[in-house]
Amino acid sequence: MNGSVPEKQPGIGPSSRRRFIAFAVCVALAVAGALVFADTLMRDTEQLQRFEQPADVRYADGSTHYIGLIEVRSALFHRQLPYEIYAGRYPHMEYGHFVDVPSDHRLVISVVDWQPEGVRVHFDSAPALFISAEKFTFGR
C-alpha cells in the first residue's frame, strides 16, 4: 500500500475537546459557587450609632445596656445586607441580642425610648422597633 498509516495520537479529537470543555465549565462553576458561598458567610460591619441606657431606667439584671445601629455588607462583593439593631450590655456591641432590619436606604436612629418593659427604637425613615427587656437583659 502507500505507506504506513499514522497512529492516532491520544488526547486529540472531538471527544477530548468535549471532556476538556466539561472540566473547564465544572471548575468555573465551582469557583463561582465558592465565591458566592464565601460572600454570604463573610461580613463587614460598621457601628453607626450607639445609645446608652439612661440612669433613671433600671432593669432586673442591674446592668447598663446599649442600643446600637450596625451597617452590614458582604465582605467580597460589598452587597448591602440588612442592618442590625444591637441590644445588650456590652458597649463594643459584639455580643448580645441582634435584630435584622432590612432597608433600601441608609437607616438613622432618631430616638431611643427606654421603658421598663423594653426599648422602642425610632428611625428617621422606617417604622419603630420594640425590643422587650427579656431579649437583652441578663447577658442575652
33 and 74 inside one domain:
no
pTM: 0.76
Question: What is the arithmetic mean of pLDDT over 113-140?
Answer: 92
Question: What is the arithmetic mean of pLDDT over 62-77?
Answer: 94
pLDDT tens sequence across 71-121:
999 988 889 999 999 999 999 999 999 999 998 889 999 999 999 999 999
Handedness of CA 30, 78, 102, 54 (dihedral sign): positive
In a 3-state reduction of DSSP, which class is residue 29? helix
Q: In what order do the strands lie in the sheet with 109-115?
A: 109-115, 118-123, 129-132
Alpha-carbon gap, residue 33 to 85, rounded angstroms: 30
Is the confidence at residue 13, as pLDDT, over 70?
no
Q: Does 126 reside within a domain?
A: yes
**Rounded (5°) CA angle 106-109-97:** 100
Smallest CA-to-CA distance from 66 within 74, 54, 76, 78 is with 54
96 and 123 inside one domain:
yes
50 and 16 inside one domain:
no
**What pLDDT, on the 0 to 100 scale, is given for residue 8?**
59
20 and 49 inside one domain:
no
Q: Does 1 reside within a domain?
A: no
Residue 32 sits in which domain range? Answer: 11-41
